Amino acid sequence: MDLSKTIELFKEHNLLKVIDEPLDIDLEIPHISYIEVKKPDSKALLFTKPICKRLNKEFSEPILTNTFGSFKALELIFGKDPDEVAKKIESLLKMKPPRSFKEKISALSGLYGLKSVIPQRLKTKGICQEVVVENPDLNDLPALITWPKDGGAFLTMAHTYTISLDGSVQNVGMYRLQIYDDKRLGMHWQIHKDGAHFFHEYKKAGKKMPVTVAIGGDPLYIWCGQAPLPNGIFELLLYGLIRDKSPKLVKSLTNDIYIPEDVDYVIEGFVDPEKFELEGPFGDHTGYYNLEEPYPFMEVTKITRRQKPIFHATVVGKPPLEDKYMGYATGRVFLPLLKTTTPDLIDYLMPENGVFHNLILAKMKSRYIGHAKQFMHAFWGVGQMSFVKNAIFLGEDAPKLEDSKKVAKYILNRLSVDSLLISEGVCDALDHTSIKPCYGGKLGIDCTNEELDLKNQKEKIEESELYDRIKSKIPELKSLAIYFEDSFNPIAVLGVEKSKNGRDFYETLPKDLSKYLGVIVWVDASKNDVFNPYMLVWRVSNNVDAKRDIFLENGIIGVDGTNKGPIDKHFREWPDDTDCDQEVIANLRKRGLISVNEEFLKQYHV
């Protein structure tokens, strides 16, 4: 299923909106896509007349965005429910040696079916090589500038193919790729990516590294590219498992890398391990800009494409976005693999407003004291789970993890200072809040215990009275909201104008607040609405480093969710939020291209 077939499938299911008005690839198309995917009935968008005023260009190829923009679209792309894929993986993991002739026949039948997993290398050229661009120019691609402070145009839905130095292992990854000029394309390889591992092999050998970038084709390719498979496993094996047919690959024209034959564009080249370029800034899926850092870049040798290509793009920023649905599928499909390390795991969820690696909820069978804390260490030692900053473990009697209100109350009715484990370890390269890059604090919470008893019930207090009491000690207080007053650990969220570090703030609070509250959280009043819990989870899970920002001494759990700076002994530059250009938003609304109201824009911090 390529992009043209995906478009037809979406049309059949009323999941596509076609926009024929000329629109700029700088901010206009990204802003429309960004707002559309936040709607409860969001659709994929096909922009038929992209232009670029900056480059004085009109593009003949359409741009498709928001492909993974709903659960229905996700299921159509997969061709099945992701849980069906999980069951298939689980059955393979549980396969036992056959004991009878009948079992042997059954096992052989199952193994024979796996032949479709293996990618098929064709000896012919592919559809993706119908047109060979004689003088390749990256600026001829309608690559988006998504955010006002982005460092340039980026390929955001490209799948990047690399190969190990000895040629034995191939990889495909989903990385953002910055266009520097007509022939240079940035390679944003984070430390844990296979592409980065291969890069160091070539660097050590003093050889240039071949790279081929593909855009378009079957949308499932890009999902496989972001899948957290163990190192050394080619992600397109997963494609074959889901599709029940082998992906067909063709050789690049100027290097030895094979790519799917039905993609829309192919960009080939080599990376010189000795050459670097500043990459960024880029507004990423954390909802913050990633700052400029040196990264390798590809020098383009060839571009090929279909006769009538479709340009595939996505927009990242504050939740909810396409990664909500892509991440959901990842969670479902990889549950059986995670269970091999933690067999008492029942289920887990990475909420999109916890930005996936910042917050995870896990339901487990707790068999003995300390079992959940053992789980925490197991999670932090498994592949990409090692980048999770905050992990909360619930018992097997917990409600469905997607029911956020019931889950929150379940947690608060079991929460105590003793249930917290604060540790440290590796964190995602995109994390901005740790004191050291790629290394910071981690929080684990054990809520597998029995519900607290009535003697733990807090006294009631009105918001207005609590506001006045805290205001008398902290004049910087500007707003306050209390959540889950009917739980054993009500939460107060404070909006403040920051004038002191987290420790000093915590110690200035009235000393008897533990009579009324179990948790107190403070955020910057100018950037947050204390009555918007969805975006508060996004902000706090982003901004907290557990080693620095969690306080436990006064019988109440304190959480500093503010932006950090030198006052907090945080000397790394703190990035800005990904905020839309308000003039562009106003213009698009005036033209009828964005139809949401002010309340919607405020709700999602647009």
Segment 563-586, tens digit of pLDDT: 999 999 999 999 999 999 999 999
Do the beta carbons of residue 34 and residue 321 sit within 8 Å?
yes
Question: What mean pLDDT value characterizes the chain?
Answer: 92
In a domain, 283, yes or no: yes
- Between strands 359-364 and 390-394, the pairing is parallel
Residue that terminates a domain, selected from 420, 455, 490: 455
Compute the distance between CA of residue 425 and CA of residue 547 in angstroms, rounded to an integer. Answer: 11
Write the single-letter amino acid at 355.
V
What percentage of the chain has pLDDT greater than the value 70?
96
Compute the distance between CA of residue 484 and CA of residue 538 in angstroms, rounded to an integer. Answer: 18
Nearest to 192 by CA among 357, 362, 421: 357
- pLDDT higher than threshold 70 for residue 497: yes
- pLDDT higher than threshold 70 for residue 97: no
In a domain, 222, yes or no: yes
Estimate the crossing angle of helix 3-12 against helix 71-78, to 10 degrees. 130
- DSSP-assigned letter for residue 353: G
pLDDT at 360: 95
Mean pLDDT computed over 263-277: 97
Signed CA dihedral, 65, 71, 72, 77: sign only: positive
In a domain, 114, yes or no: yes
CA torsion angle 565 566 569 575 (round to 10): 30
Compute the distance between CA of residue 442 and CA of residue 431 in angstroms, rounded to an integer. Answer: 12
Nearest to 210 by CA among 274, 171, 254: 254
In a domain, 242, yes or no: yes
What percentage of the chain has pLDDT greater than the value 90?
82
Highest mean pLDDT, choosing among 25-34, 187-196, 378-387? 25-34
Q: Sorting pLDDT into bands at 50, 70 and 90, what band is 115?
A: low
Compute the distance between CA of residue 294 and CA of residue 542 in angstroms, rounded to an integer. Answer: 23
Residue that terminates a domain, selected from 431, 455, 479: 455
pLDDT at 50: 98
Distances in whole angstroms, Cα of residue 146 to Cα of each of 84, 143, 489, 521, 538: 35, 9, 41, 32, 20
Does residue 427 sit in the same domain as residue 485?
no
- pLDDT higher than threshold 60 for residue 95: no
H-type helices in 94-185, by residue range?
A: 101-113
Distances in whole angstroms, Cα of residue 154 to Cα of each of 179, 284, 341, 369: 6, 11, 37, 49
Do the beta carbons of residue 263 and residue 214 sit within 8 Å?
yes
Residue that terminates a domain, selected from 433, 455, 477: 455
Q: Sorting pLDDT into bands at 50, 70 and 90, what band is 453?
A: confident
In a domain, 254, yes or no: yes
In a domain, 577, yes or no: no
- pLDDT higher than threshold 50 for residue 249: yes
Does residue 154 sit in the same domain as residue 270?
yes
Say which residue, 386 or 259, is predicted with more confidence: 259
- CA angle 272/274/276 to nearest 5° reads 85
Compute the distance between CA of residue 491 and CA of residue 523 in angstroms, rounded to an integer. Answer: 13
Mean pLDDT computed over 194-223: 94
Compute the distance between CA of residue 321 and CA of residue 4 in angstroms, rounded to an integer. Answer: 22
In a domain, 583, yes or no: no
Distances in whole angstroms, Cα of residue 470 to Cα of each of 137, 473, 511, 518, 552: 60, 5, 10, 15, 18
Compute the distance between CA of residue 258 and CA of residue 304 in angstroms, rounded to an integer. Answer: 14
Does residue 202 sit in the same domain as residue 107?
yes
Does residue 448 sit in the same domain as residue 502?
no
pLDDT at 261: 97
In a domain, 328, yes or no: no
DSSP string, 534-556: HHHHHHHHHH--HHHHEE-TTSS
Does residue 44 sit in the same domain as residue 94?
yes
Q: Sorting pLDDT into bands at 50, 70 and 90, what band is 14?
A: very high
Secondary structure (3-state) at 328: helix
295-304 residue pLDDT tens: 999 999 999 9
Could you tell me the pTM of the whole model? 0.93
Does residue 444 sit in the same domain as residue 471?
no
- pLDDT higher than threshold 80 for residue 103: no
Mean pLDDT computed over 363-390: 89
137-173 residue pLDDT tens: 999 999 999 999 999 999 999 999 999 999 999 999 9
Mean pLDDT computed over 8-14: 97
Compute the distance between CA of residue 122 and CA of residue 260 in angstroms, rounded to an integer. Answer: 10
Does residue 439 sit in the same domain as residue 472?
no
Nearest to 324 by CA among 284, 353, 361, 348: 353
Does residue 529 sit in the same domain as residue 403?
no
Range of the structural domain that residue 548 is part of: 459-568
Does residue 405 sit in the same domain as residue 544?
no
Highest mean pLDDT, choosing among 106-120, 219-233, 407-421, 441-455? 407-421
Does residue 299 sit in the same domain as residue 402?
no
Signed CA dihedral, 64, 69, 72, 74: sign only: positive
Does residue 22 sit in the same domain as residue 152?
yes
Compute the distance between CA of residue 45 and CA of residue 601 in angstroms, rounded to an integer. Answer: 19
CATH code, domain carrying 177: 2.30.110.10
- pLDDT higher than threshold 70 for residue 314: yes
- DSSP-assigned letter for residue 27: T
- Between strands 550-551 and 557-560, the pairing is antiparallel
- pLDDT higher than threshold 70 for residue 499: yes
- CA angle 574/580/582 to nearest 5° reads 120
For the chain, how many structural domains are there in total? Answer: 3
CATH code, domain carrying 348: 3.40.1670.10
- pLDDT higher than threshold 50 for residue 548: yes
Secondary structure (3-state) at 173: strand
**CB-based contacts of 136, cutoff 8 Å, min separation 6:** 182, 183, 267, 300, 301, 302, 303
Does residue 435 sit in the same domain as residue 469?
no
- pLDDT higher than threshold 80 for residue 237: yes
